[in-house]
Structure 1
Amino acid sequence: MPTLPTFSFATTAEEVANAFSAEIKGKNVLVTGTSINGIGFETARVIARHANLVIITGHNEERLKLSETTIKKENPHANIYPLIVDLSSLASVRKAAAEINALPEPLHVLINNAAAMFVDFKLTEDGLETQYATNHVGPFLFTKLLAPKLLAATTPTYTPRVVFVASVGHTYGNGVDFDALASPDPAKYSRHSAYRETKSANILTAIELSKRSKGKINAYSLNPGLIFTNVFEKEVVINIFQGNGFLGPDGEPNTEHAWKTIPQGAATTVTAALDPRLNDKPGAYLDDCTVANDKVSPHSSDPANAERLWNITEKIIGEPFTF
């Protein structure tokens, strides 16, 4: 076997995809949240250069079409399937999953990348707080419904993967607020805290999914880093990051902090999706393209919290997630 490369903070998604082009060849990958100028788009773009099929998702048809067109302009041979899904709506998630399950191809990798960030309190049609719905419950249901499609990709030498894009933000606060998840209360709501809590939920879900699947699916979570993406088009996000010094008065990145480019920011996601060195590390958390379980806060690696989160989320979606 050839020597596998060493990755770092500066590694780009394209470098990772090229290094593991043999791993991608013939594979079918789904990436949620693929708008231009985001790490989901960059993830889909570099994987599409080698994969058999890349399914890209979004809730805005115009932006989703732009992403598809942009990828195909660069790579006319890319096989792109655009899928409309609003992860904050369980009905939309069910409809999208049914569409994918009707396709003939198995699914080798599911990348749960899409997220809502620092939004005001609002209940979804299912009675959930928007960030918890979009960042945790929706992806949980989506993963559950697509599990048979993932299991269909299993071979004697390949175990399907699920990737959750989390954040270093999970280290702030006390982890998942189980009461807020099950019974959201606007009087106790903090958009900062809710976002961080959902990122803890991502990590816990990866751990518990790997455990419950008993080797049938390998799940990973990751910190993509500090990246100037399309999320900074929103005034509330700009104000928050200016307040903590990550952005200057002009709204541009403060170079005193370690910002990544979008290609660098997507690299850890692509690593989690493809690197064969992770085969024997299910449930791992990655940072800068390497396993970094030591960087996970205790509340986000506690097996009891992972089990509790799973059980509560099953009750919310109204069905068990079993294998």
Structure 2
Amino acid sequence: MAQFEADAYGEEVCKVLSSQIKGSKVLITGVTPGSIGGEAAIQLSRHEPSLLVLAGRNSQTLQELDRKIKQETPNIQTRLLVIDLSSQENIRKAAEEVNSYPETLEILINSAGVMASPFSFTKDGIELQFGTNHIGHFLFTNLVLEEILRRGPSRIRVANVSSLGHKRGPVRFDDYNFEEGKAYDKWQAYGQSKTANMLYSVSLAEKLGDKGVEAFSLYPGRIVTGLVKHLTDEDWLNSGWRHPDGTLNTDPKFNWTTQSQGAAKLIVAAYDPDISDKNGSYLARNAVRNDEAADYALDPQNAEKLWVLSEDLVGQKFFN
């Protein structure tokens, strides 16, 4: 049984899981250069997956990452998928593209997201963080899973990137839009979306576990990436994450981690065969840590309520 150190680097994890990665067909959302999704793609590319799908909003940044990967592993098969998770119309087009692939995907790593953004709506009238981080992935993943299951017996792993920030708030089932912005709190909204990532994993395990689908949520650690672009100077100072002179506060209590260490956590959730019997669980520090999750974020009743709400918001029912 593989047991990974809490602060293991992606290189270490991939070496242990190399036989699982080799020949796999994997899609990762949110693979901008410098992101943990992008770092995970780079790390995985060194271990011979048979297909690596790089998914993100901007074709130029996807091409940039693709070039970087192929400088090191020129023979790897990649595909670039432009997807805007804040637009259900765009998501459906992207899913159609994926479903036209001759290959059947085996791994979905849902890493894209926004954090603590000013209030705004998605193109479909949903608060941006909830709409992008959860609803976008819910719709895309379910559309892709439908096709995978239609093709016949298969095993697929879904890794949904959550956060310790899920403890900032549960899903506001009756007011997910924060009174259309009038009662908006950007951190509660982030917490709601990250709680939703966890509940979605619980639902996938419950509804599709007997069909070969495994789903896990994970906390990748506290990392400085493009995700922090919406943080103000006040946010940084109030959190204690930066000193008044603007330098990063490296106090061990903040447990900062690197992109490679963050990517390791995505890869463990996506590939570690030893967690299969814990389907639907929450991972932190490269291991199942359900006891560290807020109760509301793993509650089966909340998971079902979220599933019904999510189906209503995308106008489609799945796996009934």
Q: How does the TM-score come out when normalised to structure 1?
A: 0.93
Q: Give the match for residue 280 of structure 2.
A: 283
- Indicate yes or no: 2:173 matched with 1:164: no
Q: 1:187 aligns with which of 179, 182, 189?
A: 182
Structure 2: how far apart are the matches of 1:238 and 1:27? 42
Gaps of 5+ in 2: none
Give runs of ≥4 in structure 1 deviating > 6 Å: none
Determine which of 94, 97, 111 is the counterpart of 2:95: 97
Q: CA deviation at 1:63?
A: 1.2
Comparing 244-253 and 212-221, the one that deviates more? 244-253
CA distance in 2, matches of 1:290, 1:315: 34
Name the CA shift for 1:159/1:235 in 2 (closer, same or farther; >3 Å): closer
Corresponding position of 2:196? 201
Whether 1:215 aligns to 2:210 is yes
**CA contact 2:205–2:214 (8 Å) conserved in 1:** yes
Identical amino acids, percent of aligned pairs: 38
Correspondence for 1:132 among 130, 133, 147: 130
Partner of 1:27: 24
How far apart are the structure 2 equivalents of 1:44 and 1:70?
A: 10
CA distance in structure 2 between the partners assigned to 1:274 and 1:161 by the alignment: 8
Of 303, 306, 310, the residue aligned with 2:303 is 306
Please give the secondary structure, in 1, of the residue aligned with 2:216: strand
Q: Is the CA contact (8 Å cut-off) linking 2:178 and 2:184 kept in structure 1?
A: no
Distance 1:73 1:128, change over 3 A: same
Mapped partners of 1:146, 1:187: distance in 2: 35
Is the 1:166–1:199 Cα contact (8 Å) retained in structure 2?
yes
Partner of 1:247: 242
Report deviation, 1:302: 1.3
- The Cα RMSD (Å) is 1.7
C-alpha contact 2:219 2:283 (8 A) present in aligned 1: yes
Following the alignment from structure 1 to structure 2, what is the Cα–Cα distance between the partners of residues 227 and 31? 18
Shifted more, 146-155 versus 313-322: the winner is 146-155
Distance 1:262 1:239, change over 3 A: farther
Task: Name the count of aligned residue pairs.
Answer: 316
Q: 1:63 corresponds to which residue?
A: 61
User: What code does the residue aligned with 2:88 have?
Assistant: L
Tell whether 2:77 aligns with 1:84: no
Question: What's the CA shift for 1:180?
Answer: 3.0
Measured in 2, the distance between the counterparts of 1:21 and 1:93 equals 31
Deviations 1:40-78 (A, max 9, x none): 001111112220011011111211111111111121122
Q: Which moved more, 1:282-291 or 1:179-188?
A: 179-188
SS in 2 for 1:95: helix
Counting only pairs closer than 5 Å after superposition, residues 45-64 of structure 1 correspond to structure 2 as: 45-49=42-46, 50-64=48-62
CA contact (8 A) 2:114 2:227 kept: no
Q: Output the CA distance in 1 between the equivalents of 2:316 and 2:178.
A: 18
Task: Tell me what 2:111 maps to.
Answer: 113
**Cα gap change, 1:206 to 1:260, in 2 (>3 Å):** same
Residues 240 and 29 from structure 1, CA distance in 2 versus in 1: closer, same or farther, beyond 3 angstroms?
A: same
Measured in 1, the distance between the counterparts of 2:192 and 2:290 equals: 18
Corresponding residue number in structure 2 for 1:15: 12
> Residue in 2 aligned with 1:44?
41
The amino acid of 1:208's aligned partner reads: S
SS at match of 2:311: helix
**TM-score, length-scaled by structure 2:** 0.94
Whole-Å Cα distance in 1 between the matches of residues 20 and 218 of structure 2? 20
- Match of 1:111, SS state, is strand
- What is residue 225 of structure 2 aligned with on the other side? 229
Residue segments in structure 1 that go unaligned for 5+ positions in a row? none
Structure 2 letter corresponding to 1:264 = Q
